[in-house]
């Protein structure tokens, strides 16, 4: 493999890790008004992701930075063409992060309710818009001969992209509910399991529709095979919930999300942003990449620091692995 191919794979890995990890804390935040029916349960839910949510967000920063350094043409076209949705994602993430820190600063129900609304907004909006963005990247957008985005905001809100956004949002909601079931005990876990049983079939239908559409229009043998693996993982996760195996259920929904992202990248390769105006104007791993020397330096740095980051983030999850209950919350 050339270094351009290696970095395409590494960026795919970063986005896959981001969607799996940030996916469940987006789901927890979005489900706050559904499962957090009183202040104690809301605090239990927030505490399940409290030690890890900010670490999960680092993955998207690294993915963006790696795209900028390894594929500057891709980065420039993506961030100029998708400026408004990416700005909305950024604002939502800022509000969400501030809300986690500020909601407990005053003992006031109205104060906490406002920040809880920010948590929900900051979880739902990115969960939906990331799906819209990646669906558009896979489908292709109007890119001219100069490699610049030639469309507008409304071009991004096509039926395929909206289904992609609905897919990521529904998958993250299910993933978050499974995480709550894994990380809690007592009444809130029981409520999460009931929600999973109702939400699961809906998510299966939405995700299957999106993966089939992707396979028919943009897929190849490899991406279709990966999509089938995603579907099997999702069904396996739901069966594990029924069997009371929370760990296997979480592994199933995580694998379903991860394999879905991989399927999109496999369908995309060797393009990084296909042009819907002329296939010859598409950005590819070759014409959008940095110089070989830049990629070589990046590979050395990534080889040194990536294992360290994975080790300390894995250690964080291990330290905070125990289940939480209402009794864990001080008055």
Q: Report the alpha-carbon distance of residue 137 to residue 81 in Å, rounded.
A: 11
For the chain, list residues with pLDDT below 70: 1
Structure tokens at 261: 């992202």
* Residue with token string 């009931």: 194
Q: How far is CA 15 from the centre of its chain?
A: 7
The domain total for the chain is: 1
Cα–Cα distances in angstroms (integers) from residue 25 to residues 49, 111, 155, 158, 221, in the given order: 6, 22, 29, 27, 32
* Residue with token string 């395929």: 160
What pLDDT, on the 0 to 100 scale, is given for residue 27? Answer: 95
pLDDT in tens, 262-277: 999 998 888 898 988 8
Structure tokens at 117: 């609304």
Nearest 5°: the CA angle 45, 192, 105 is 15
What pLDDT, on the 0 to 100 scale, is given for residue 154? Answer: 81
Is 267 within 8 Å of 223 (Cβ atoms)? yes
pLDDT in tens, 76-129: 998 888 899 999 999 999 999 999 999 988 888 899 999 999 999 999 999 999
What pLDDT, on the 0 to 100 scale, is given for residue 1? Answer: 66
Q: How far is CA 74 from the centre of its chain?
A: 20
- CA-CA-CA-CA torsion sign (135, 204, 235, 240): positive
Domain extent, residue 168, equals 3-328
H/E stretch holding 187 reads: helix 187-218
Structure tokens at 294: 């830049």
């Amino acid at each position: 493999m050339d270094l351009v191919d290696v970095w395409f794979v590494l960026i795919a890995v970063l986005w896959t890790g981001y969607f799996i990890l940030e996916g469940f804390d987006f789901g927890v935040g979005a489900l706050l008004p559904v499962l957090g029916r009183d202040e104690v349960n809301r605090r239990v839910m927030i505490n399940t992701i409290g030690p890890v949510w900010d670490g999960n967000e680092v993955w998207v920063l690294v993915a963006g930075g790696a795209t900028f350094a390894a594929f500057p043409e891709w980065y420039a076209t993506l961030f100029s063409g998708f400026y408004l949705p990416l700005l909305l994602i950024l604002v939502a993430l800022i509000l969400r992060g501030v809300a986690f820190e500020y909601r407990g600063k005053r003992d006031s129900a109205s104060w906490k309710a406002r920040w809880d609304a920010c948590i929900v907004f900051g979880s739902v909006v990115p969960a939906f818009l990331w799906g819209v963005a990646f669906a558009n990247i896979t489908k292709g957008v109007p890119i001219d001969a100069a490699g610049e985005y030639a469309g507008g905001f409304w071009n991004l809100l096509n039926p395929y992209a909206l289904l992609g956004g609905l897919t990521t949002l529904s998958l993250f909601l299910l993933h978050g509910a499974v995480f709550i079931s894994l990380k809690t005990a007592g009444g809130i876990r029981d409520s999460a399991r009931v929600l999973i049983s109702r939400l699961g079939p809906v998510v299966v239908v939405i995700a299957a529709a999106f993966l089939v559409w992707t396979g028919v229009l943009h897929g190849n043998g490899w991406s279709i095979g990966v999509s089938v693996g995603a579907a099997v993982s999702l069904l396996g996760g739901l069966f594990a919930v029924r069997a009371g195996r929370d760990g296997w259920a979480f592994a199933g929904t995580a694998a379903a999300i991860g394999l879905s992202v991989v399927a999109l990248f496999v369908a995309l390769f060797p393009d990084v942003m296909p042009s819907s105006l002329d296939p010859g104007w598409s950005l590819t791993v070759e014409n959008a990449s940095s110089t070989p020397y830049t990629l070589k330096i990046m590979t050395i740095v990534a080889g040194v620091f990536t294992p360290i980051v994975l080790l300390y983030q894995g250690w964080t999850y291990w330290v905070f692995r125990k289940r939480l209950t209402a009794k864990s919350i001080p008055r």
